[in-house]
Amino acid sequence: MSDPQVVIMGPQGAGKGTQSRRIVETFGVDHVSTGDMLRENKDMETEHGTPREYMEAGELVPDEVMEAVVEEALADLDGYVLDGYPRTMGQAEFLAGIEDIDSVLAIEISDETAIDRLTGRRVCPECGANYHVEFDQPEEEGVCDDCGAELVQRDDDKPEAIRKRLSEFHEQTEPVIDFYREETDIPVETIDGERAPDAVWEDVREAIERVA
């Protein structure tokens, strides 16, 4: 089986991280997320500055800087699942120029489901572990199983922030999925993300096996 190069897309709360981890375990590829790429390359020098400068200013890292980061992150990888990129048409066009993508996985959920899932998420500020007040509770309420730190709700997991991010997804990223469907030969698999993770995984696995 070859090493597939997969892009996983969907709104916040769709379960992209959960499914990406399963892809990594099953197919032996790397999980490349936007956050990880930026953290690992935050001091990369580009003609438009470093990612750190924008991150510390609380600004979005511009496409010109992200392009350099993405190219560096993918340069030596045979197979990967790319999570969180591309999110705009400009990014999609850049990626098409440097990589041959085997499959796009588009996980769909309603805005209501996304809000329900994300408002219940709790994060460990020390080790980064994620929990949920309903679906994935720690052994002791409010306390991280791994390091014992007190769990917190991130500001961007509060309803108003979630609605803003969902609006951005609909305006900027849904057209990217349409671009892959209508203007490329890359298989786009639409997956119902409203179901339990195991059911979603069956569709994800089968979709990758068709191209791997």
* 14, 57, 63, 67, 170 from 88: Cα distances, Å: 18, 21, 9, 12, 11
Q: 210 catalytic, yes or no? A: no
Tokens of 19: 């499914």
Instruction: Quote the CA–CA distance of 11 and 114 in Å, as a whole number.
Output: 7
CB 29 within 8 A of CB 79: yes
Q: 158 catalytic, yes or no? A: no
Q: 195 catalytic, yes or no? A: no
Which one is catalytic: 154, 158, 163, 164?
154
- Beta bridge partners, 136, equal 132
Instruction: Quote the CA–CA distance of 47 and 53 in Å, as a whole number.
Output: 13
The helix-helix angle for 16-27 and 197-209 (nearest 10°) equals: 50
Integer-rounded Cα radius of gyration of the chain = 17
Q: What's the residue count for the chain?
A: 212
Which one is catalytic: 22, 42, 52, 165?
165
Q: 181 catalytic, yes or no? A: no
Q: Which residue has the tokens 């996304």?
A: 114
CB 58 within 8 A of CB 81: no
Tokens of 176: 């990217």
Q: 163 catalytic, yes or no? A: no
Catalytic site positions: 16, 87, 121, 154, 165
